[in-house]
Amino acid sequence: MRRFFAVFLIGSLISCSGHSQDQKASLSQKELSLFDLRIPESEYTEKMQEVRERKLEIHEHMGKITAGLAAVTVLTAMFAKRSTNRDRARRGGTTDPSDADNFTPHMISAGLTLASYFTTAYFSITAPKADVLHDLDSVKWHKRLSFIHMPAMIIGPFLGLKAISDYRKGKNPTGIAKLHRPLMLLGATALAGAVIVVEF
């Protein structure tokens, strides 16, 4: 009887140990699953690819809109500068705080461009990354140009606000504010190039 009890006890322990190991293995398998959901990896990858393609498609279309708005912003800056020079000529070449009013359309256009630009960037940055990327040369150039237009779009507006502040004080832009125009022209050119290399 004692032998039978001992055998039964040992068997129960082995059974519990095996069941515990099965639970650990099951837990480990569960922890390795994607987002703790029982979705096959191939199906998950396909879903993420669909999300990636959708976001990059929006990024592409928004990029065209942004490039168009950037072109309008450059044109409004040219018109504002021409109007300012004309007004100063009428005043005998003197500056006046009212010169800043000529740049109102430019500031509105610049605000719309920035909103469109960072919305465009959002869809690219948040798009799921592919496991393996085989970038075409056009895509590589598209990414390289972003290292030019993105700093310009971040720094340029602050320089623009400084330039407007100088105009409102009745003087021409001074110091780093004078860099606003060439920096934004460079940024707009790089942005247009980023759109062109992908399209053609």
pLDDT category at 40 given cuts 50, 70, 90 is low
Which of 93, 104, 73, 23 lies closest to 188, judged by CA? Answer: 73
Q: 24 versus 185: which is more confidently predicted?
A: 185
What integer pLDDT is reported at residue 184 of this predicted model?
Answer: 96
Q: 195 versus 92: which is more confidently predicted?
A: 195
Instruction: Report the number of secondary-structure helices (H) and strands (E) in the chain.
Output: 5, 0
151, 158 Cβ separation under 8 angstroms: no
Q: Rounded to 5 degrees, what angle do the CA atoms 35, 40, 46 make? A: 90
Please state the pTM of the whole predicted model. 0.75
pLDDT category at 4 given cuts 50, 70, 90 is very low
Rounded Cα gap, residues 102 and 85, in angstroms: 10
What integer pLDDT is reported at residue 149 of this predicted model?
Answer: 96
Residue 151's identity, in one-letter code, is P
Average pLDDT of the segment spanning 148-171: 95
How crowded is residue 17: how many other Cβ atoms within 10 Å of its Cβ?
10
Secondary structure of residue 161 in the 3-state scheme: helix
Average pLDDT of the segment spanning 140-165: 95
What integer pLDDT is reported at residue 2 of this predicted model?
Answer: 47
